[in-house]
Structure 1
Amino acid sequence: MKEKLKEAIDLFEEVMIYGTERVMKSMDLPLWQEYSPEQIQVLKILSAHGKATSAQLADFQGVHKSAISNRIKKLEEKGLISLESDEHDRRSKVISLTEQGKQVVQISDEAIYQSIEKLFLGKVDEKELDEFLFIFQKLKDILKLKGM
């Protein structure tokens, strides 16, 4: 079991690394010239979770709060996110997507879907896709962070 789990983790990491690189390089999307992958990821996190603090975003991205502060500043300047005082802690700011931010996420998601669809077409059948969905739903349920 231990060896198979290690192999699964290694494969997952490789898929994430090569998949991200391949998808990003295969698309000539002006949006991805304007925003870094890390900024897009912040937008996607906010899209999935609604609101978050900078500390929560730093935890999700596995970086120091100073890196998040810079991303937040740039995204706010571009009108993609808004900051408001936390009702429970006035010293803290809660970050959420603006309508423009939601549009950026939608454009990015559609481009990623189209790129991956082209990669998978004719290489993955319906049964394999069902297995993939089952396993990834199970992994999501196991790894899902609470409290956000």
Structure 2
Amino acid sequence: MKEKLKEAIDLFEEVMIYGSEQVMKSVDIDIWKEYSPEQIQVLKILSTQGPLSNGKLAEIQGVHKSAVSIRLRRLEEKGLVTSSKNPTDQRTKVIELTPSGVEILRQSNEAVYESIVELFNGHINEEEIDTFVKTFRKLKDILHMRGM
């Protein structure tokens, strides 16, 4: 079991690293020329997690707060996010998506989806996709139970 789990973890890491690289190379939309993958990730996090503080965004992205601050400033200048004082803690700001941010994220997600479909076409069957979905739902549930 331990060896299989290690192999699974190694494969997961490899797919995340090289899969992301392959998708980024194959997606050719203007949005990805204007916004960095890290900025798109901020939009995706806000979309799934709801309004968050700078600190929580930095924690989720695994970077220093200053890196997130730069990303947020650029996204706010382009009207994709807004920041406001946290009603429960006036020392912090809460960041949330604007309708423009939602639209940019939708376009990015659509392009990524189309790229992945093209990449996988003819290589993965429906049963394999079902297994993948089942496994990743389980992993997601485990991570949510642990508060990650």
TM-score, structure 1 as length reference: 0.96
CA offset digits 1:89-132 (Å, max 9, x no partner): 01110000000000011000000000000111111111111000
Matches of 1:82 and 1:49, distance apart in 2 = 15
After superposition, residues 51-66 of structure 1 pair within 5 angstroms as: 51-66=51-66
Map of 1:103 onto structure 2:
103
Q: Which amino acid aligns with 2:49?
A: H
Q: Which amino acid aligns with 1:72?
A: L
**RMSD across aligned positions (CA):** 1.1
Map of 1:45 onto structure 2:
45
Between 39-48 and 121-130, the greater mean CA deviation after superposition:
121-130
CA offset digits 1:36-95 (Å, max 9, x no partner): 000000000000011100111011100111111111111101100000111100111000
Structure 1 regions of 5+ residues with no counterpart?
none
Map of 1:69 onto structure 2:
69
- Secondary structure, counterpart of 2:91 in structure 1: coil
Say whether residues 1:33 and 2:33 are aligned partners. yes
Say whether residues 1:125 and 2:137 are aligned partners. no
Q: Which amino acid aligns with 2:93?
A: K
Matches of 2:23 and 2:82, distance apart in 1 = 29
Structure 2 regions of 5+ residues with no counterpart?
none
Aligned length: 147
Map of 2:89 onto structure 1:
89
Runs (4+) of structure 1 exceeding 4 A deviation are none
Map of 1:23 onto structure 2:
23
Map of 1:142 onto structure 2:
142
Matches of 1:10 and 1:54, distance apart in 2 = 31
Matches of 1:67 and 1:3, distance apart in 2 = 37
- Higher strand proportion (structure 1 or 2): 2
TM-score, structure 2 as length reference: 0.96
